[in-house]
């Protein structure tokens, strides 16, 4: 006899388990989709990221330049102080020898004065501070002892100053190393991004930069106030500009001051040096010399022009809204429109 039992219905618990499993499978699929590698950045996206990294590298470069300049200054100051200490020690030895001769003469003539004998056996400073001591000495002895005391104090001050500067130098060297690592890190990151481009994309970027540079050069040289590359302009600003023109095509290298490579402030300081004018090494320091000009329309060829809020980029005004500058790693000294620098024009400086 056939069974007429109804088929078993799945329990509510079993349905819940199946539903949960299905939901989990959907979630895992979604996570897998999200975990899939993102699309390769476009050429323009890479350029934007690289430009930002180069800007950060240039900020660190100017800090590096400042630390390097401070290090060199401290080294010179320490060397001068050490030379002074060496000469001072020689003078002190001569004074002591002279006083020793005086003591020997006293001994031969009947004995050494007690106060002088005390000096020769120990440090005289505390003893000389007592007025009664000087009263017991002859005028010649007192004069000799006073000179020795003054020289000892002078040497102590010089040695203390040298010690302080040596500590400052050690801290500066540490800062210099840190800034150098920052620059190198940003440049390495930018290079990694550039290496992700195809050969065709790299060629396109290079062509775009070349076209922009040629357009800027044509614009600058069409300005009647701009001195042609073949002439030596009058005035120190013009002379500095002509010197910079002679370096068009020279590669950018961070920390470089010429003549075969430059960074931004390295080019401007070198150019003005060729015109017989000494200006500071860093863009921040260069911004604090001369006469500031806030209106772009009042700029003249050869004026220093500064960009970004922290003044970390500087070039030479070339006329018609163009500058001549050392832009960043991977480029050369060239003309460029002020509108494409990547940061706001802050002001110019007429040296």
Tell me, what CATH number does 223's domain have? 3.90.1720.10
Number of domains in the chain: 2
Query: Could you tell me if 213 and 340 lie in one domain?
Result: yes
CB 116 within 8 A of CB 128: no
Does 249 map to a domain? yes
Same structural domain for residues 217 and 302?
Answer: yes
Q: Let me know whether 169 and 220 are in one domain.
A: no
19 within a domain of the structure (yes/no): no
Q: Is the dihedral angle over the CA atoms 290, 295, 296, 297 positive or is it negative?
A: negative
Look at residue 337 in the predicted model and tell me its pLDDT. Answer: 93
Query: Which is catalytic among the residues 4, 232, 312, 313?
Result: 313
The answer to which of 102-116, 255-269, 296-310 has the lowest mean pLDDT is 102-116
Check 123, 232, 312, 325 and give the catalytic one: 325
264 carries an active-site annotation: yes
- Say what the pLDDT of residue 228 is: 46
Higher-confidence position of 279 and 145: 279
For 79, the domain range is: 43-193
Q: Do the domain assignments include residue 88?
A: yes
> Rounded to whole angstroms, what are the CA distances from 94 to 41, 87, 97, 100?
76, 11, 5, 10
**Confidence (pTM):** 0.65
Residue 233 inside a domain? The answer is yes
Say whether both 138 and 254 belong to one domain.
Answer: no
Cis ω before 259 (30° cut-off from 0) = yes
Residues 50 and 190 sit within 8 Å (Cβ to Cβ): yes
Inform me whether the pLDDT recorded for 61 exceeds 80. yes
The verdict on 113 and 244 lying in the same domain is no
Residue 9 placed within a domain: no
Lowest mean pLDDT among 70-84, 184-198, 228-242, 327-341: 228-242
Which residue's entry shows tokens 């618990």? 13
> Within this chain, do residues 188 and 47 fall inside the same structural domain, yes or no?
yes
Of these ranges, 97-111, 157-171, 312-326, the one predicted with the greatest mean pLDDT is 312-326
pLDDT band for position 16 (cuts 50, 70, 90) = very low
Instruction: Indicate whether 267 belongs to any domain.
Output: yes
Query: Which candidate in 4, 232, 264, 312 is catalytic?
Result: 264
> Which residues lie across from 257 on neighbouring strands?
262
**Pair 168, 280 in one domain:** no
Pair (270, 180) in one structural domain: no
Known catalytic residue at 232: no
pLDDT at 349 over 90: yes
């Amino acid at each position: 006899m056939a069974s007429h039992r109804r088929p078993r219905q799945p329990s509510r618990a079993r349905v819940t388990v199946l539903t949960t499993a299905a939901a989990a499978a959907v979630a895992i699929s979604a996570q897998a989709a999200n975990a899939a590698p993102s699309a390769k950045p476009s050429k323009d996206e890479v350029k934007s990221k690289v430009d930002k990294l180069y800007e950060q590298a240039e900020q660190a470069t100017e800090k590096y330049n400042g630390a390097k300049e401070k290090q060199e200054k401290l080294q010179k100051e320490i060397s001068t102080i050490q030379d002074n200490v060496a000469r001072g020690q020689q003078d002190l030895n001569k004074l002591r020898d002279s006083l020793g001769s005086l003591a020997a003469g006293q001994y031969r003539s009947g004995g050494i004065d007690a106060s002088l004998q005390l000096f020769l056996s120990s440090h005289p400073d505390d003893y000389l501070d007592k007025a009664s001591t000087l009263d017991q000495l002859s005028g010649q002895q007192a004069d000799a002892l006073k000179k020795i005391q003054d020289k000892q104090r002078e040497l102590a001050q010089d040695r203390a100053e040298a010690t302080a500067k040596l500590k400052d130098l050690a801290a500066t060297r540490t800062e210099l190393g840190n800034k150098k690592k920052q620059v190198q890190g940003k440049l390495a990151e930018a290079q990694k991004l550039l290496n992700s481009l195809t050969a065709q994309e790299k060629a396109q970027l290079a062509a775009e930069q070349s076209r922009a540079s040629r357009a800027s050069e044509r614009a600058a040289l069409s300005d009647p106030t701009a001195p042609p590359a073949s002439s030596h302009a009058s005035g120190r600003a013009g002379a500095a500009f002509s010197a910079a023109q002679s370096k068009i095509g020279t590669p950018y290298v961070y920390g470089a001051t010429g003549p075969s490579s430059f960074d931004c402030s390295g080019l401007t300081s070198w150019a003005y040096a060729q015109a017989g004018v000494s200006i500071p090494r860093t863009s921040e320091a260069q911004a604090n010399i001369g006469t500031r000009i806030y209106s772009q329309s009042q700029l003249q060829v050869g004026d220093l022009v500064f960009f970004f809020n922290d003044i970390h980029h500087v070039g030479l005004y070339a006329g018609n809204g163009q500058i001549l500058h050392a832009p960043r790693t991977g480029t050369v000294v060239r003309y460029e429109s002020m509108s494409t620098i990547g940061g706001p024009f802050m002001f110019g400086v007429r040296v």
